Each structure stands twice: as structure tokens, then as C-alpha cells.
């Protein structure tokens, strides 16, 4: 059994998503249909998707 270093998991930010334009994707809370929802927005081109992983497609 190989021993996995515990340090391998620390230090890196989980789930960093990048838009196809190269901009950073940030989660943002917006009102939509009277409800507060979290959406993923590209800071560069303002493209908006429901989930950050939609930018990976
Ligand atoms: Zn973008």
C-alpha cells in the first residue's frame, strides 16, 4: 500500500473554474424570480451560468 501524503490535499483552492474567455469565474448571489440564487459569473465577460462547472464545457 502506498502512503498518500496528507500535504497533497492542502494548500490548493478547490474547484477553480475559468471561463472560455480566460476570466475568473466567481459565485454570486442574485435575485431571480423572487428568490436569492447563487450563480456563477465570469468576471471578465459577465457570462452567467447556473453552475461553475458549466464553464468547463
Ligand atoms: Zn468569460
DSSP state for residue 57 in the 8-state scheme? -
Residue 8 CA to ligand 1 centre (angstroms):
30
pTM over 0.75: no
The per-residue pLDDT for 29 is 93
Residue 42 CA to ligand 1 centre (angstroms):
5
The per-residue pLDDT for 49 is 94
From first to last of its 57 residues, the chain has per-residue pLDDT tens of 767 666 555 555 556 889 999 999 999 998 989 999 999 999 999 999 999 989 987
Place of cell 458549466: 54
Residue 5 CA to ligand 1 centre (angstroms):
35
Q: Which three cell numbers, joined as nine digits, stand for 47?
A: 457570462
Amino acid at each position: 500500500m502506498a502512503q498518500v501524503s496528507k500535504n497533497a490535499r492542502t494548500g490548493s483552492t478547490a474547484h477553480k473554474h475559468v471561463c472560455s474567455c480566460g476570466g475568473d469565474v466567481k459565485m454570486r448571489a442574485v435575485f431571480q424570480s423572487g428568490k436569492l440564487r447563487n450563480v456563477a459569473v465570469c468576471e471578465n465577460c459577465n457570462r452567467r451560468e447556473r453552475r461553475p462547472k458549466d464553464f468547463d464545457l
